[in-house]
Amino acid sequence: MNSSYTEQNNKTAEAVARLKAEIDAADAVVIGAGAGLSTSAGFLYTGERFEKYFPDFIRKYRFEDMYSGGFQVMQLPPGELWAYWSRYIYINRYMDPPKSVYRELFELVKEKDYFVLTTNVDHCFQKAGFDKHRLFYTQGDYGLWQCSRPCHQKTYDNEETVRSMVLAQGFAIAEDGALTVPEGAALQMTVPPELVPRCPVCGEPMRMNLRADDTFVEDDGWHAAAQRYSDFLRRHSGLKVLFLEAGVGWNTPGIIKYPFWRMTRDEKDAVYACLNYSEAYAPDEIAARSICIDGDIGEILAQLK
């Protein structure tokens, strides 16, 4: 073991101990979570998971990963598009992530007054036990559809239709909810026309309730969650608040990262913690009240126990 490795380990251990003390001391914890948290939980969009559920799409269209495939299928006929998206939605929204990272995060804060702000759309916080009234999903939810125009500001739960779609393609759903390919089954790359979702109001195609542009529908649930989040911040202003950022990258820093920095700067008793694999950083202005821990979030949480 060389000395810089030991030094890094000591630094991490010290930062983890500091974070633990700050969680204990905090009046409230505001969690801000990005894609890195779900990656750490094993929700990978490449490799084994991709190859297991999309072998036909990989063969026929040479898709390279689940995420970019989601854009490429937009060119395909509706039956194929929904064959792709139903598998995608099912495994990323209705199945549990391979690792218990979200559950460990919940164990860490469940006795605290907490709130979660997240750009993740995979429902992992609720599946791990977080109270849905303490969650604000700013960017949508894989479990919801909306009118593609949109002609009205409502979203629709898609679980039942998505289940029918994957079953129609030859998949099976195990007792624990896992999507499986029965032995010898030939997968269909399309869903029957009657399962292709259309807007119940105007008849146009439905689409995912994911923020991509200004056609994203912010329904009543979205506005209620936004209101609860701002109320939470107002109620705890001036108190000892820990802003705990986990796996937030640089795609949309204006949603979590920058506001967390700004609130830490403006609230003299606030503390900012940044857990990130290779991008743990805090600006100089708040460095004295920041804890940056570089590493896999699952491993960091294990050390916090």
Q: In the complex, what is the shortest distance from the CB of residue 152 to Zn ion, in angstroms, rounded to a whole number?
A: 6
d(CA 274, CA 294) in angstroms, rounded, equals 8
Q: In the complex, what is the shortest distance from the CB of residue 154 to Zn ion, in angstroms, rounded to a whole number?
A: 9
- Does 302 engage in binding with Zn ion (CB under 5 A)? no
Q: Output 74 or 201, the one with its CB closest to Zn ion.
A: 201
- Does 202 engage in binding with Zn ion (CB under 5 A)? yes
Q: Output 145 or 229, the one with its CB closest to Zn ion.
A: 145
Q: Output 222 or 261, the one with its CB closest to Zn ion.
A: 222
Q: Output 147 or 162, the one with its CB closest to Zn ion.
A: 147
Position among 13, 17, 21, 151 found at the interface with Zn ion (CB under 5 A) = 151
- Does 153 engage in binding with Zn ion (CB under 5 A)? no
Position among 28, 166, 199, 225 found at the interface with Zn ion (CB under 5 A) = 199
Region of residue 251 (phi > 0: left; psi between -120 and 50: alpha; otherwise: beta): alpha
From the list 19-27, 142-150, 223-231, 275-283, the region that binds Zn ion by CB under 5 A is 142-150
- Does 147 engage in binding with Zn ion (CB under 5 A)? yes
From the list 62-70, 77-85, 140-148, 282-290, the region that binds Zn ion by CB under 5 A is 140-148
From the list 27-35, 42-50, 117-125, 148-156, the region that binds Zn ion by CB under 5 A is 148-156
Q: Output 202 or 239, the one with its CB closest to Zn ion.
A: 202
Q: Output 19 or 199, the one with its CB closest to Zn ion.
A: 199
Beta-ladder partners of 147: 206
Task: For residue 77, count other CB atoms closer than 10 A to its CB.
Answer: 12
- For every residue of the chain, DSSP letters joined together read --HHHHHHHHHHHHHHHHHHHHHHH-SEEEEEE-HHHHHHTT--SSHHHHHHH-HHHHHHH---SHHHHHHHGGGS-HHHHHHHHHHHHIIIIISPPSS-HHHHHHHHHTTS-EEEEE---S-HHHHTT--GGGEEETTEEEEEEEESS-SSS--EE-HHHHHHHHHHTT-EE-TTS-EE--TTPPPPSS--GGGS-B-TTT-PBEEEEE-SSTT----HHHHHHHHHHHHHHHHTTTS-EEEEEES--SSSTTTTHHHHHHHHHHSTT-EEEEEESS-----GGGGGGEEEEES-HHHHHHHH-
From the list 90-98, 139-147, 156-164, 287-295, the region that binds Zn ion by CB under 5 A is 139-147
- Does 168 engage in binding with Zn ion (CB under 5 A)? no
Q: Output 83 or 199, the one with its CB closest to Zn ion.
A: 199
- Total residues binding Zn ion (CB under 5 A): 6
Position among 13, 74, 178, 201 found at the interface with Zn ion (CB under 5 A) = 201
Q: In the complex, what is the shortest distance from the CB of residue 254 to Zn ion, in angstroms, rounded to a whole number?
A: 29
Q: Output 205 or 249, the one with its CB closest to Zn ion.
A: 205
Q: Which residues bind Zn ion (CB under 5 A)?
A: 147, 151, 199, 201-202, 204
